[in-house]
């Protein structure tokens, strides 16, 4: 395992991802972690970047014990400065913040020094890298030497003369540093000697064994499925581990995509064999949403109603389990666990040393479930990034279109209908959305886009159809590309695809006479309109 200490950089999780892409298990922990509290011995440590300056009063510093553990350490950006600071070097503010591409020269520097110097950049040569920093090293710490420089950073990469300590000012973890992953590879594979045993094939076996172990021979697990990748993969994994002792529940909240509940039922239940109940609660949801426009209210109503319906269904499963238990023999036990498809980014967010970041929208829709139900939580995906979940899904024979599916928000179409939510409005949006996605798939563009959806605007515009004036609603189309949805850019469609989508929506969806395309990036906009 590689331990990555997070000093609050926006790129910290990317370091973890790059290690895992190299099939090396890496865990991100707050920089305040005490080495004596670790539940494992790392084979190497990486110090992340940070928005702080090392001399700030409230600057975060690592436990000095990391330097006596006897394992290799790589400091990235602030991590380099932190390493230099600890080892009595000097750091100074740059005259101007350096932000962007730089060429780092590594080839002509290491000559004559120890062989460990070459290890970090072995075989890589001079390379283009991404810089983003306000401070830089101004005086080398004793017993360190330079192993790389750029035009504006004479100490862009340094190494200890005899210990395996390295620091680099640039960011190898971002894709703007094309050979950055190789630098990380040199560190974790060659210098730390990590084994490449983090694969989804190995994960499945271990995780199924772990689930069986914690669930024991009796006892049931319930979990909600939505038709999205995470809940489907989690459900299938539970089914592989404990068969019919896992009960999946899908709540049709009336604001799903066209035919969603039916399709999920067919795929999960019929094709994948998961024990699934679909509850049609659309009347209840839509009646509670009546007249509500405020997005946060919509989210709250949907979240709370979901909990009500889910609990009711869970109670039915529990009652049936109790009845079975009374009959004796083949009893599978009572409902003891709640499955959640929590992913690693959520875990990271909640362990950050700065505390969870400011809430712009309340995304976590089922937060209240656990406290009420007295169930223990089981989270088989909590170590995984999204792309790892997708790889896992493929190995579990989940159909490719589902594995590649764009995310869909818990409050569903309710936050894409900007006005009040009614059955009619839902129907219009479902049809428009379905045409949009179908045409994106026909044009073979689905996998290039991170998320695409239609939005129904609460305004009417004038149009003409045949000889008649129409006065109908407007659909806005949104498609974005994004790494992690923290930032996103709008997708540039070939014009003929947009033309076809617009023409089909205005012709086929009654109530809509105009289609627009959203060309806003995040920030300053968000992905969803509400």
Q: Which stretch binds ligand XMP (CB under 6 A): 19-27, 37-45, 203-211, 357-365?
A: 357-365
125 is in an annotated binding site: no
231 is in an annotated binding site: yes
Smallest distance from the beta carbon of 489 to ligand XMP, in angstroms? 12
- The Cα–Cα gap between 314 and 335 comes to 8
- The Cα–Cα gap between 59 and 82 comes to 10
304 to 343: interface string for ligand XMP, x by CB under 6 A: ----------------------------------------
Q: Which stretch binds ligand XMP (CB under 6 A): 84-92, 143-151, 184-192, 409-417?
A: 409-417
Among 485, 504, 517, 520, binds ligand XMP (CB under 6 A): 485
Q: Per CB under 6 A, does 527 bind ligand XMP?
A: yes
173 is catalytic: yes
Cα 104 from chain centroid? 31
Q: Which stretch binds ligand XMP (CB under 6 A): 92-100, 246-254, 340-348, 405-413?
A: 405-413
Q: What is the dihedral of CA 106, 112, 113, 117, to 10 degrees?
A: 30
Q: Which stretch binds ligand XMP (CB under 6 A): 117-125, 136-144, 194-202, 521-529?
A: 521-529
Q: Which stretch binds ligand XMP (CB under 6 A): 31-39, 82-90, 358-366, 389-397?
A: 358-366
Q: Which residue has the tokens 């909600």?
A: 224
227 is in an annotated binding site: yes
Q: Per CB under 6 A, does 345 bind ligand XMP?
A: no
226 is in an annotated binding site: yes
Smallest distance from the beta carbon of 288 to ligand XMP, in angstroms? 16
Q: Which stretch binds ligand XMP (CB under 6 A): 48-56, 135-143, 173-181, 359-367?
A: 359-367
- Residues 160-199 as b/e (b if ≥16 CB within 10 A, e otherwise) read beeebbbbbbbbbbbeebebbbbbbbbbbbebbebeeebe
Q: Per CB under 6 A, does 409 bind ligand XMP?
A: yes
Cβ closest to ligand XMP, residue 276 vs residue 527 = 527
Instruction: Please give the full DSSP string across 195-238, using - where no structure is assigned.
Output: -----HHHHHHHHHHHHHHHH-SS-EEEEE--SSHHHHHHHHHH
365, two tokens: 């829709």
Smallest distance from the beta carbon of 231 to ligand XMP, in angstroms? 11
264 is in an annotated binding site: no
Q: If DSSP codes are grouped into helix, strand and coil, which group holds residue 291?
A: coil
Q: Per CB under 6 A, does 407 bind ligand XMP?
A: yes
* Residue 253, phi then psi, degrees to nearest 5: -95, 10
Q: If DSSP codes are grouped into helix, strand and coil, which group holds residue 62?
A: coil
Cβ closest to ligand XMP, residue 23 vs residue 482 = 482
Q: If DSSP codes are grouped into helix, strand and coil, which group holds residue 399?
A: coil
In this structure, the number of other CB atoms found within 10 A of the CB of residue 320 comes to: 13
- The Cα–Cα gap between 79 and 56 comes to 15
Cβ closest to ligand XMP, residue 196 vs residue 526 = 526
Q: Per CB under 6 A, does 293 bind ligand XMP?
A: no
Q: Which residue in the list 19, 31, 77, 192 is annotated as catalytic?
A: 77
Cβ closest to ligand XMP, residue 21 vs residue 484 = 484
Q: Per CB under 6 A, does 298 bind ligand XMP?
A: no
Strand bridging mode 246-252 / 220-224: parallel
Instruction: Please give the helix or strand (H or E) that residue 455 lies within, else none.
Output: strand 451-465
Cβ closest to ligand XMP, residue 160 vs residue 299 = 299
DSSP secondary structure code for residue 106 in this structure: -
254 is in an annotated binding site: no
Among 90, 363, 427, 504, binds ligand XMP (CB under 6 A): 363
232 is in an annotated binding site: yes
429 to 458: interface string for ligand XMP, x by CB under 6 A: ----------------------x-------
Q: Which residue in the list 173, 182, 240, 318 is annotated as catalytic?
A: 173
In this structure, the number of other CB atoms found within 10 A of the CB of residue 354 comes to: 11
Cβ closest to ligand XMP, residue 30 vs residue 407 = 407
Q: Per CB under 6 A, does 145 bind ligand XMP?
A: no
- The Cα–Cα gap between 293 and 290 comes to 9
Cβ closest to ligand XMP, residue 316 vs residue 361 = 361
In this structure, the number of other CB atoms found within 10 A of the CB of residue 347 comes to: 16
Among 411, 429, 431, 452, binds ligand XMP (CB under 6 A): 411
Q: Per CB under 6 A, does 361 bind ligand XMP?
A: yes
194 is catalytic: no
215 is catalytic: no
In this structure, the number of other CB atoms found within 10 A of the CB of residue 327 comes to: 8
Cβ closest to ligand XMP, residue 149 vs residue 299 = 299
Cis peptide bond upstream of 328, omega within 30: no
**Residue 299 near residue 361, CB atoms below 8 Å:** yes
Cβ closest to ligand XMP, residue 191 vs residue 224 = 224
Cα 444 from chain centroid? 24
441, two tokens: 């798939």
Among 288, 300, 460, 522, binds ligand XMP (CB under 6 A): 522
Q: Which residue has the tokens 């970041």?
A: 357
Q: Per CB under 6 A, does 365 bind ligand XMP?
A: yes
For 415, 446, 477, the CA distances from 452, given in Å and listed in that order, are 14, 8, 8
Q: Which residues contact 490 (CB under 8 A, 6 or more apart)?
A: 478, 479, 480, 481, 518, 519, 520, 521
- The Cα–Cα gap between 301 and 53 comes to 44
Show binding-site residues: 226-232
The residues assigned a catalytic role are 77, 171, 173
Show binding-site residues for ATP: 226-232
Which residues lie near ligand XMP (CB under 6 A)?
Answer: 299, 361, 363, 365, 407, 409-411, 451, 485, 522, 526-528
């Amino acid at each position: 395992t590689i331990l990555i200490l997070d000093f609050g950089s926006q790129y910290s999780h990317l370091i973890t991802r790059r290690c895992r892409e190299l099939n090396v298990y890496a865990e991100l922990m707050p920089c305040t972690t005490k080495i004596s509290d670790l539940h494992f011995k790392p084979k190497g440590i990486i110090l992340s970047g940070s928005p702080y300056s090392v001399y700030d009063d409230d600057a975060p510093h690592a436990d000095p014990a990391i330097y006596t553990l006897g394992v290799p350490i790589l400091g990235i950006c602030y991590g380099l400065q932190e390493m230099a600071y600890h080892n009595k070097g000097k750091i100074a503010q740059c005259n101007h913040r350096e932000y962007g591409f730089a060429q780092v020269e590594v080839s002509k520097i290491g000559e004559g020094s120890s062989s460990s110097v070459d290890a970090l950049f072995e075989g890589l040569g001079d390379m283009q890298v991404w810089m983003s920093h306000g401070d830089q090293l101004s005086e080398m710490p004793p017993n360190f030497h330079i192993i790389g420089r750029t035009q504006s950073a004479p100490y862009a990469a340094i190494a200890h003369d005899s210990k395996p300590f390295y620091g680099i000012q640039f960011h190898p973890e971002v894709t703007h540093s094309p050979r950055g992953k190789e630098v990380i590879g040199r560190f974790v594979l060659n210098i730390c000697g990590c084994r490449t045993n983090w694969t989804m094939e190995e994960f499945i076996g271990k995780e199924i064994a772990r689930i069986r172990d914690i669930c024991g021979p009796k006892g049931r697990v319930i979990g909600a499925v939505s038709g999205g990748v995470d809940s489907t993969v989690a459900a299938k994994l539970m089914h592989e581990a404990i068969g019919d002792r896992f009960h999946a529940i899908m709540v049709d909240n009336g604001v799903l995509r066209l035919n969603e509940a039916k399709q999920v039922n067919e795929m999960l239940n019929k094709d994948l064999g998961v024990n699934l109940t679909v509850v049609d609660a659309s009347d209840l949801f839509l009646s509670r949403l009546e007249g509500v426009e405020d997005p946060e209210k919509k989210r709250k109503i949907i979240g709370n109603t979901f909990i009500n319906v889910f609990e009711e269904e869970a109670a039915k499963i529990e009652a049936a389990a109790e009845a079975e238990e009374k009959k004796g023999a083949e009893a599978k036990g009572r409902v003891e666990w709640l499955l959640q498809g929590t992913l690693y980014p959520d875990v990271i967010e909640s362990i950050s040393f700065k505390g969870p970041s400011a809430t712009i929208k309340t995304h976590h829709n089922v937060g209240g479930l656990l406290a009420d139900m007295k169930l223990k939580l089981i989270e088989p995906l909590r170590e995984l990034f999204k792309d790892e979940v997708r790889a896992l899904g493929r190995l579990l024979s989940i159909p490719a279109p589902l594995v590649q599916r764009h995310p869909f928000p818990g409050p569903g179409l309710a936050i894409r209908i900007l006005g009040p939510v009614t059955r009619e409005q839902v129907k219009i949006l479902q049809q428009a959305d379905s045409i949009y996605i179908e045409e994106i798939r026909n044009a073979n563009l689905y996998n290039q886009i991170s998320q695409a959806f239609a939005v129904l605007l609460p305004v009417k515009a004038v149009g003409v159809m045949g000889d008649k004036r129409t006065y109908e609603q407007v659909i806005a189309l949104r498609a974005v590309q994004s790494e992690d949805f923290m930032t996103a850019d709008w997708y540039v469609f070939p014009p003929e695809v947009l033309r076809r989508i617009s023409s089909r929506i205005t012709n086929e969806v009654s109530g809509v006479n105009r289609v627009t395309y959203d060309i806003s990036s995040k920030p300053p906009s968000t992905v969803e309109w509400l």
